[in-house]
Amino acid sequence: MGSLTKAAEEERPAVEGEDEWSDEAVVYVNGVRRVLPDGLAHLTLLQYLRVEGIGDRQRGLHPVQESLANAHGSQCGFCTPGFVMSMYALLRSSKQPPTEDQIEDSLAGNLCRCTGYRPIIDAFRVFSKTDNSVYTNSSSESTNGQTICPSTGKPCSCRNEMDVDANEASLSLRMKRYSPLSYNVIDGNAYDERELIFPPELQLRKVTPLKLNGFNGIRWYRPLKLKQVLHLKSCYPDAKLIIGNSEVGVETKFKNAQYKVVLSVTHVPELNILEVKEDGIHIGSSVRLVQLQNFFKKIIAERESHETSSCQAILRQLKWFAGTQIRNVASVGGNICTASPISDLNPLWMATCARFQIIDVRGNVRSTLAKDFFRGYRKVDLKPDEIFLSVILPWTRPLEYVKEFKQAHRREDDIALVNAGMRVYLREAEGYQIISDVSIVYGGVAAVPLRASKTETFLTGKKWDSGLLDNAFDLLKDDIPLSENAPGGMIEFRRSLTLSFFFKFFLSVTHEMNTNGVLKDGLHVTHLSAVQSDSRPATLGTQGYELVRQGTSVGQSMVHMSAMLQVTGEAEYTDDALVPPNTLHAALVLSKKAHARILSIDDSLAKTSPGFAGLFLSKDVPGANHIGPIIHDEEVFASDVVTCVGQIIGIIVADTHDNAKNAANKVHIEYSELPAILSIDEAVKTCSFHPNTKKCLVKGDVEKCFLSGACNRIISGEVRVGGQEHFYMEPQGTLIWPVDSGNEIHMVSSTQAPQKHQKYVANVLGLPMSKVVCKTKRIGGGFGGKETRSAIYAAAVAVPSYCLRRPVKLILDRDIDMITSGQRHSFLGKYKVGFTNDGKILALDLEIYNNGGNTLDLSSGSPRTCNVSFRKCI
C-alpha cells in the first residue's frame, strides 16, 4: 500500500464502537505517570522501569545493583544497566527466589564485552534459591494489614511463606562474599530497600482499543476483538500485524521496511487461546513463547508421557530459542509467518504434523498442514485477506517419538547453523518394531524447512534397528544437498550435522524405547554420551591471584570508582551528554560498492526530506580532506573513487536523528564499478599491496639450516585468522560545537585517542590544534576500535558543524557502525618449520600477510606478498 492518505482513511467504514477507541497510552516510568502517544500501553511496568528507578546514589542502591558493583561485575559499564534490569525483572517476577539455572537463563540475552561473565554471575548467584531477603525486606503492608507483593502490587502471602532461617543463612553467606555498602554516598544514611509498587492505575485499568498516529502518517491500531482485526484487515489489506515486533522491528530498523498501518493483535482473545482438545492442543497465533513454555510444562506434568512427546521436544527447543527478553514478547504466529529458513520451531511443526488454521476477512476458516504452508524464502500460504489464526498440535501416540535438534555457534541466544525436527511412529509386528510413519525435517539448509522425503519413503515399513542407518545416511546426503556455495558457509560441517542429527535421533529413540521396556537391547555404552541431555551444571568460576599489598590501595581488591554510577545507570556516555540548543543530528552517506568511481551524487530527494539541513561532501571540507595518524593517506569523504563498502562519501545533517537517517537513505549515487580484490589470496596473486609497509626480520641462514639435515622433520602449512569486529558495546559517537563563532571547536567524543580527534579535526578545518578541544568522560568499550577509527567520524562531523556554525551530533547505529568502522585485519600466515625429534625448533620461515600492508623481499629486492617476514634459525 502506498502512503495512507487522509481521504483513504475517511473512506474506510468505521469499526463498530471505534469512536470510543482511546488515543492515549499510559505508562509509568520509574513510578512517574506518562501518557505516550505511541501505542505502548500494553507493555508492563517492568519494561518501563529504568535502571535509575530501582536505586541510585541519592536513595541508595538496590541489592542487585550493589551486588554487581561489589563483585566487580562492571568495567566500561555500558552493558551494566541491562544486566541489572534482567536480574531485577527476574526477581520481581518470581515469587520464589530463582535457581542458579534460572538466573543464567535470564541473562542469556545480555552481552558483556569487557568484564567477562564470571563476576557478573557471581554477583547474582547470591539471589538464588533460599535467599529471600529481597522479598522479605521489600514487601510492604497495605492499610488492612495484608502484605502487598512487590512483583504484582496485589495482596499475597509470599512473605509469610519465607523460611527465615534459610534467609539468614544465605544472607550471611552473601555477606561473606562481599561487604555491602549499606549507606548512600551523599549523606551516609542507610539506604532504603523499598521497591516500587506496580501502579494500581495500571492494575485496575480496563484495557481499551487504541488507535494512534505516528510519524510519517503511520497509523497504529490495537483492536481487542477478532471481528475488529478482520474489519481493519479488509480495509487495509497491506496492514502489518504485529505481536512481539521482534521481527518487524528488525525489518523497519535495518531493512528500511515501512508499514503505514500496523495492527497490534496482542490482546485479541481468539488469537491467545491455549486449549486442550481431543485432537490436540490449540495454540492461538498471538501466544507468546514464554506462555507456551509454561503451558507445555503443565501439560507434560498432567498427561501421559506418550501423549506429549511433541510438547517435550518443542519445550526443549524453546530453551535454546533466543533469550528471555525475546521469548517474553515473541509469538508463535510471528515465528511461523516470518517463515525464516532458520526458524527453530517450523521444522518441528512440520515433523509433528501440526495443522495451521487460517481465517479470512469474512470469517471463513481453513486448515492446512504445516508441511504445506511454507512456499519459498519468507513466503507462506496466506492471502492478503487472510490472517493466521492458530496451530493445532496433535497428541502423540504410544510408540510415537519426537525429537528436536539445533546446532549454533553458541548454546544460548544464537541462530541455528542447522536445526531439525524428527518424528517416528512404530508398530509392533512379530516381535519387531516396524516404522509406520516417519518425518525428518531440517531447517537452516534451504530457503524453506526441508523434508528428507526419499529417506522418509525408504524408512517406512523398515525394522527399527541399526541396519537401516547406512542406507538412510546415503539417502540423506541426496535429500539435503547443501551446495558448496550455500548461504551460511561451513558446508562440510553443516552436511555432517544433517547426518549426525539423524544418528542421534536413532540413538535417542532406541534408548527411550529401551528405558520404557519396549526394546530389549539398549545402546552400547560407547553410544550413551550421544543421548545425554544438553543440560550443564550452573557456571562456576574462580580466580586465583596472589595478594601483595603495598600502601593503602595497591594489591587490594577495590570496587572501581565508577562502579556505583554504572550499576545505577547514572554514568554518562557521549550520547547522554546534554546537547546545546540548536543542535543538528548527522547521518553518514556510505559507499555501497567495494571498488568504484563516483559518477554523480544526487541529493534532490534528500533535500525534500523532513528536517533536512544540509549535505556535506569532499568539496565542502574547509581544510584538508586527507587525514591519517602518520601518513595522511585516507580521505574523510571519498572524492572520486571508493575502495570499500561502508566508506564515507558524505554527511547529512537534519533536525532529528531519524530525519537525518531518512534523508541519508535518499541520496542517490551513480558509480562506475572497478575490479575489486576481496581476499588476501587475490591480493597476493595480483601483487596488490599498500606501498612502503614492508617488514622483514632475518636471523641466520634459514635455507642452509633446512638443507643441512639437522632438522629431523620439516613441515609447512598455512594459518588463517578472519577479520574481527572490535565490538565495543557503545557505538561510535561525537558531539561537536563551534565556540566563538567557529574560532574554536569543542567536542565530546567516545574515543581512546582524544588527541587524534583534536589533530584530525584541526586538519580538516584548517585550524591550529590549540583551537580544538576534545573531551572524553568515559567510553563504553573501545578495544582499539576507537583510536584512528573514531577520529574519522569527528573529522566528518566537524565539517557541517563548522560550516553551519551549529552543534552537530553523530551517534552511529550498531549496523552502520559495523559496516563503516573497519575491523582488526584478517591474516594469512604461511610457515615452514624444521625441528628435531625432541621438539626443538631449528629453523622457521614465516610470512604473514594481512589486509593492511605489504613488504618487499629484502634478499631479492623484488615485491613480496607478505607484510611481515620472519626468518630465524637457531
Ligand X SMILES: Cc1cc2nc3c(=O)[nH]c(=O)nc-3n(C[C@H](O)[C@H](O)[C@H](O)COP(=O)(O)OP(=O)(O)OC[C@H]3O[C@@H](n4cnc5c(N)ncnc54)[C@H](O)[C@@H]3O)c2cc1C
Q: Report how far residue 529's alpha carbon sits from residue 696's, in angstroms, rounded to the nearest whole number.
A: 50
User: 74 vs 324, which CB is nearer to ligand FES?
Assistant: 74
User: 404 vs 730, which CB is nearer to ligand FES?
Assistant: 730
395 scored as a contact of ligand FES (CB under 6 A): no
User: 79 vs 842, which CB is nearer to ligand FES?
Assistant: 79
563 scored as a contact of ligand FES (CB under 6 A): no
Q: Report how far residue 737's alpha carbon sits from residue 748's, in angstroms, rounded to the nearest whole number.
A: 9
Q: Which window, 7-15, 84-92, 380-388, 556-564, contacts ligand X (CB under 6 A)?
A: 380-388
Q: Which window, 74-82, 222-230, 331-339, 846-854, contacts ligand FES (CB under 6 A)?
A: 74-82
Q: Report how far residue 455's alpha carbon sits from residue 446's, in angstroms, rounded to the nearest whole number.
A: 17
78 scored as a contact of ligand FES (CB under 6 A): yes
815 contacts 254 by C-beta, under 8 angstroms = yes
76 scored as a contact of ligand FES (CB under 6 A): yes
Q: Which residue has the cell 547406512?
A: 470
Instruction: Answer with the entry of ligand X, ligand FES, none that 508 interacts with (C-beta below 5 to 8 A by kind).
Output: none
Regarding beta strands 648-654 and 584-590, do their DSSP bridges make them parallel or antiparallel, or are they unpaired? antiparallel
Three-state SS string over 673-712 comes to ECCCCCCHHHHHHCCCCCCCCCCEEEECCHHHHHHCCCCC
Q: How far is the CB of 698 from ligand X (least distance, A)?
A: 51
Q: Which window, 78-86, 290-298, 464-472, 601-609, contacts ligand FES (CB under 6 A)?
A: 78-86
Q: How far is the CB of 333 from ligand X (least distance, A)?
A: 4
Q: Which window, 23-31, 207-215, 245-253, 771-779, contacts ligand X (CB under 6 A)?
A: 245-253
**Site map (CB under 6 A) of ligand FES, residues 701-740, x = contact:** ----------------------------x-----------
Q: Report how far residue 208's alpha carbon sits from residue 204's, in angstroms, rounded to the nearest whole number.
A: 12
Which residues touch 540 (CB under 8 Å, ≥6 apart)? none
234 scored as a contact of ligand X (CB under 6 A): no
Q: Report how far residue 490's alpha carbon sits from residue 848's, in angstroms, rounded to the nearest whole number.
A: 24
Q: Report how far residue 298's alpha carbon sits from residue 260's, in angstroms, rounded to the nearest whole number.
A: 40
- What one-letter code names the amino acid at 636? V
User: 508 vs 776, which CB is nearer to ligand FES?
Assistant: 776
542 contacts 550 by C-beta, under 8 angstroms = no
User: 115 vs 340, which CB is nearer to ligand FES?
Assistant: 115
Q: Report angle CA 270, 276, 282 to the nearest 5 degrees.
A: 45
Q: Report angle CA 405, 407, 408 to the nearest 5 degrees.
A: 145
- What one-letter code names the amino acid at 644? C
List the one residue from 85, 241, 472, 586 that touches ligand X (CB under 6 A). 241
Three-state SS string over 301-346 comes to HHCCHHHHHHHHHHHHHHHCCCCHHHHHHCEHHHHHHHCCCCCCCH
84 scored as a contact of ligand FES (CB under 6 A): no
Q: How far is the CB of 116 from ligand FES (least distance, A)?
A: 9
Roughly how many angstroms between the first and final C-alpha of the chain, as a whole number?
Answer: 74
Q: Report angle CA 345, 350, 352 to the nearest 5 degrees.
A: 90
User: 326 vs 714, which CB is nearer to ligand X?
Assistant: 326
Instruction: Answer with the entry of ligand FES, ligand X, none that 614 interacts with (C-beta below 5 to 8 A by kind).
Output: none
Instruction: Answer with the entry of ligand FES, ligand X, none that 441 interacts with (C-beta below 5 to 8 A by kind).
Output: none
Of the candidates 329, 321, 328, which has an alpha carbon nearest to the alpha carbon of residue 242?
329
77 scored as a contact of ligand FES (CB under 6 A): yes
87 scored as a contact of ligand FES (CB under 6 A): no
User: 75 vs 106, which CB is nearer to ligand FES?
Assistant: 75
Instruction: Answer with the entry of ligand FES, ligand X, none that 337 interacts with (C-beta below 5 to 8 A by kind).
Output: ligand X
- What one-letter code names the amino acid at 400? E
Q: Which positions from 114 through 133 interact with ligand FES, judged by CB under 6 A? A: 114-115
Q: How far is the CB of 22 from ligand X (least distance, A)?
A: 22
Q: How far is the CB of 59 from ligand FES (least distance, A)?
A: 24
Instruction: Answer with the entry of ligand FES, ligand X, none that 113 interacts with (C-beta below 5 to 8 A by kind).
Output: ligand FES
Helices (H) and strands (E) in the chain, counts: 28, 38
Q: Report how far residue 447's alpha carbon sits from residue 373's, in angstroms, rounded to the nearest whole number.
A: 13
- What one-letter code names the amino acid at 206? K
User: 783 vs 831, which CB is nearer to ligand FES?
Assistant: 783
809 contacts 800 by C-beta, under 8 angstroms = no
**Site map (CB under 6 A) of ligand X, residues 406-425, x = contact:** ---------x----------
Q: Which grid coordinates are listed for 644?
A: 570499500
**Site map (CB under 6 A) of ligand X, residues 317-336, x = contact:** ----xx---x--xxx-xxx-
- The burial of 344, by beta-carbon neighbours within 10 Å (0-12 exposed, 13-18 middle, 19 or more buried), is given as buried
Regarding beta strands 841-850 and 827-835, do their DSSP bridges make them parallel or antiparallel, or are they unpaired? antiparallel
Q: Report how far residue 597's alpha carbon sits from residue 671's, in angstroms, rounded to the nearest whole number.
A: 5
User: 115 vs 734, which CB is nearer to ligand FES?
Assistant: 115
User: 378 vs 832, which CB is nearer to ligand X?
Assistant: 378
**Site map (CB under 6 A) of ligand FES, residues 772-801, x = contact:** ---------x--------------------
Q: Report how far residue 727's alpha carbon sits from residue 738's, in angstroms, rounded to the nearest whole number.
A: 31
- What one-letter code names the amino acid at 60? G
- What one-letter code names the amino acid at 53? G
Q: Which grid coordinates are listed for 486?
A: 550455500
Instruction: Answer with the entry of ligand FES, ligand X, none that 573 interacts with (C-beta below 5 to 8 A by kind).
Output: none
344 scored as a contact of ligand X (CB under 6 A): yes
Instruction: Answer with the entry of ligand FES, ligand X, none that 334 interacts with (C-beta below 5 to 8 A by kind).
Output: ligand X
Residues lying near ligand FES in the complex (CB under 6 A) are found at: 74-80, 112-115, 729, 781
Residues lying near ligand X in the complex (CB under 6 A) are found at: 240-248, 250, 265, 285, 321-322, 326, 329-331, 333-335, 337-338, 340, 343-345, 382, 387-388, 415
